Every structure is written in C-alpha cells, then in structure tokens.
Amino acid sequence: MKDKLKAILIILTIFACVEDYDIDPYAEIEYDSYGNLGFEDGIVHWNGYANSYSSISIESDSYEGLNSLKLSINVDTSSFEGSPGSVFADISKSLDVIQGDTVLLSFQLRYSLNDQADGVSLFNTRVFHDLEGEVVEEEQDTINQISTQWQMINLKYPVPKDAARLAFGVRIVGVHQDVFALLDDFTISIDPLSNQVPSEFSLLSPADGSSLPSTEQIELSWAASNDSDGDHVTYDMQIWTDAVVENYLVNSSFEEIVTHWLGDEIPSEWDFWPYYYHNVFSYPQLGDSIYNESYVYSGAYSMLITGDFTGQSNKTILYQSFSADYIPPGTRVTFSGYMLNPSTDPIRNNNQGYISIDQFASTGSAINNSTWILNHTSESITSGHELDQWHYFEVSSTTEENTNYLQIRINYEQFNDDSGTVFIDDLMITTSNTRLILHEETNIDTTSFSIDRTVFTGPYDFSDRESLTYYWNILARDNFTSVSSENGPFNLIKD
C-alpha cells in the first residue's frame, strides 16, 4: 500500500513539474531571389556549402546594418594531405533571367589579407541554366580587387542564348591556416536587352496563289532581312496545309469493304489482331436483302465485332497506325465514334467494347521497331447500355515530346465465351492543332531553299480533295528576336 502511495506521489510530482510551451508552427519560406541581400536575416534565401576545413557564419562586422557573411578556411597545413581544391566554402543565389539582358551585380567585400595568399583564391561564380535545367554556360573568375578594408565589387553577367535562370555566388578555395572573406550589401539590377529586330522582308517565289510546280525540286525564295545591330540573320521555314480529319483516318465510316478469304465482307484499310477475320464483319453483308437499317448509323454500312470464342478471355482489335511526325508535341488528339448494343445478340456479363489511342516512340522509321509509351481508353459499351440505341464515345490523348506514331484502336473483350455483339460506325479524329505541318527547316543561311516535291504530295493521301492549298512562310531571326515576312504566308494550289 505504501509503495502504491509513493508511486502516485511521484507521478503527481512529475506532472506538476511539466510546463507548457508555445511552439511556433512550421512555416515554409518562399524563396526570394532579391531577398536578404544584406544578410540581416542570416542566410535565408541563400544557398551555402562548407566542409570540415571551411565554414560559413554570420558576423557583426558589417559594412552596413547589423550583419555580414563570413566565408573562412582553417586548415592545419602541417598535417593536411588533401588536394587544395577540396577545401572551399561558397554562397550563392539564383534568379530568373531573359536571354540578351545583362545582370548587374555589386557587393561589398573585405578580405583578411591585403593580398592574395599563396594557395588560396577568391572567385565570383555564375552558372546559366535553360528552361529544362540544363547548363548553358558556367564560369568562375578570380576576384583580384581585395583589401582589409571594405571594397565594392562590380560585375556584369550578359545572359546567353536559351538561358532562363542564373545562379551566381562567391567562393573561397585553397589551403590556409586562417583566411576569410566578409561579404555584405549585395545589389542586383537588370539591364534590358537593347536590340533591333531584323528588318522587314518579303517572300518572292513561287508567287502567292500560284500552282504547285511540277518539277521534282521546288525552290522557295525570299528577299534578305538586315540587322542594324550587325547580328547574323538566319531564316526558319515552315510548310503546312489545313489539318483535316481524313488526312489521318481512312475508311472511318466503313463504307469501303473487301471480301476476305473466308468469304465474308470486312471493312478495308483496317488491320486486325488476331488475324482470324472470323469475328469482324461489315454490316450488311453483300447480298443481304433483309437487314436492320437502324444498325447503320450513317451511310450504307457499319461494322460489327464479336468475341473470339477461344474458351478463355480474349481481345479482338481493329486498328490504324500513322506517323505523328507532323503533329507537334502537346497536340490533343481526340478519337470518337458511335457504338450500339443490339437486341439480336446483346452484350452478356462482363464483355465490353471501347475505343483507344496508343502512342509509340521510335528511333527508326517503322512502327514495328517502336516502343509503347502510353494508352488512353474511352468508356466501355457494356450489357448495361440501352439496346438498339447508338451511344457516343470518345477518348483524347496529348502527344508527348518523343511520340513518333499513333495507333487508333477499336477493342472488344470477351470473357468465359459469353456472347454479345457491338456495332460501330462514324469514327472521327480531330486535333487541337489546325495546321498539318509538312516540313520545317531552321537556321537557313541563304535566301532560297530547294524542297523535294514529295514534301507536298506525301505522306498523306490527298486524292479525295478536288483541290489542295499549301502554305509556306519564312521567319528571320537574329540571336534574340525574330520577324515574319511582311507578305506571307504564300499559298500554293494543287489542282
């Protein structure tokens, strides 16, 4: 009993000694490229690195305000066996930049010695990155203007082409018993690019509205553009036509049919997997005098697909593949169409039909050598869909940077040999890009360029158009800016 009382008293005593403290909640600090330039808030908004022979600290010996930053090296030179380059300390900051501008940087520096110490160097550093984070330019320069008194250091960093972000800093490197640099009062300003755009220029030939030449090589020419700054001018060329659905999908409404070796009619221009051809049919079949017209959404024919009846789960696919070389990355491709669940052979249990888009990447020229990237599928038509009614389905997929081929698919999945048929009709492809790019050329050094005529006649089949309009235009650019032709684009007509 006494032991229990002692335990209770100890517990009460412990809790009586506990005090309540208010702990500030964690708050993430948003990085500010122009914040804390005088180190009044320590090293907030700065990045620093030091190792076991160096240090970074905040000091009260300041040029202005309360604080400065100290980069120091302290090495026992009698026993040190490492390389001089392995001992360093640096501080850095980053900011967004625009190519062609100049970053003006200044700061106050006080060194522990009146001259450079043997084996120790002080550098200003800069690294420019592009939008993808890749290094565009990287340099470090020795700071020679040093003193035991505060000195202002002024630097200019021209922003190179394609650069989007700059990381700048100060670094001390070397082996010394006791050496340091104090930094304070950074200022950052931007001197915007003063650049004249290339002069206006005109497209020359073939003339606007003329017929597409019949020669194997077609020469496009334009007047020269001049740059008043003396910058070198190059030209970019683009040839395109209107992006039309038929350019991509052939026999989209299944109106063209062929008779395969088993004697039944199937839609032409579509590839099948597996290659049995015994569960895909055009509807109606040639010679059918009686058929249900409501099973055709438009035109004279639709298509029907059933299971493969293999005794196990199986999938039947109809597909078309085409190159995506002329579809820019980031283009939204939408595949749509209509499907019907017929009362004559309704979908049973888990069987389903759907449409899909697959994207492939390839380093070669054939889709057989391609690597699958991704797949997007529509909702499925199932046993739950109303019988004898056409239902609209669509699927969209945005092309990747490395997409070379697209495959448009009609899919039917059968489980446990369950019966069921799906009718399909009126398929369509649309894209978010209204231009079908046929050819692009960059960094042309002359004012003319010869194009093979096949650029205009392939790879798409334009035979179903009574006439076809092509467009071409030229862009003149210097190192920083560009200007389009003043009279373009020109039209070329293929009758």
The model's pLDDT over 176-232, given as tens digits with 9 standing for 90+, comes to 889 999 999 999 999 988 778 899 999 999 999 999 999 999 999 999 999 988 889
Is 27 inside any structural domain? Answer: no
pLDDT value at residue 247: 54
The backbone torsions φ and ψ at residue 454, rounded to the nearest 5 degrees and listed phi first, read -65, -20
What are the pLDDT digits (tens) for 109-133? Answer: 999 988 777 789 999 999 999 999 9
441 shares a domain with 307: no
Domain boundary among the residues 412, 431, 450 is at 431
CA torsion sign for 230, 163, 192, 105 is negative
Q: What percent of the chain is predicted at pLDDT more than 70? A: 89
pLDDT value at residue 66: 95
Is 417 inside any structural domain? Answer: yes
pLDDT classification of 326: cutoffs 50, 70, 90:
low
296 shares a domain with 211: no
93 shares a domain with 66: yes
pLDDT classification of 463: cutoffs 50, 70, 90:
low
**Structural domains of the chain, count:** 3
pLDDT value at residue 8: 44
pLDDT value at residue 187: 97
pLDDT value at residue 348: 95
Q: What is the CATH number of the domain that holds 71?
A: 2.60.120.260
123 shares a domain with 97: yes
228 shares a domain with 115: no
pLDDT value at residue 361: 87
220 shares a domain with 183: no
Q: Which amino acid is at 81?
A: E
Residue 89 has pLDDT above 70, yes or no: yes
pLDDT classification of 14: cutoffs 50, 70, 90:
very low
Is 387 inside any structural domain? Answer: yes
pLDDT value at residue 15: 42
139 shares a domain with 74: yes
327 shares a domain with 398: yes
- The CA distance from 152 to 145, in Å, is 9
pLDDT value at residue 460: 65
Q: What is the CATH number of the domain that holds 465?
A: 2.60.40
452 shares a domain with 368: no
Nearest to 270 by CA among 248, 297, 246, 252: 252
pLDDT value at residue 113: 86
Residue 27, helix vs strand vs coil: coil
This model's pTM is above 0.75: no
pLDDT classification of 51: cutoffs 50, 70, 90:
confident
Domain boundary among the residues 394, 411, 431 is at 431
pLDDT value at residue 17: 44
Cα separations in angstroms, 121 against 110, 140, 156, 170: 14, 11, 20, 11
391 shares a domain with 283: yes
Task: List the domain range (segments joined by +) for residue 422.
Answer: 246-431
Nearest to 153 by CA among 145, 161, 163: 145
Is 132 inside any structural domain? Answer: yes
The backbone torsions φ and ψ at residue 389, rounded to the nearest 5 degrees and listed phi first, read -125, 135
What are the pLDDT digits (tens) for 344-394? Answer: 999 999 999 999 999 998 765 555 567 889 999 999 999 999 999 999 999
- The CA distance from 422 to 393, in Å, is 13
Q: In terms of C-beta density within 10 A (0-12 exposed, 13-18 middle, 19 or more buried), how is residue 428 classed?
A: middle
424 shares a domain with 307: yes
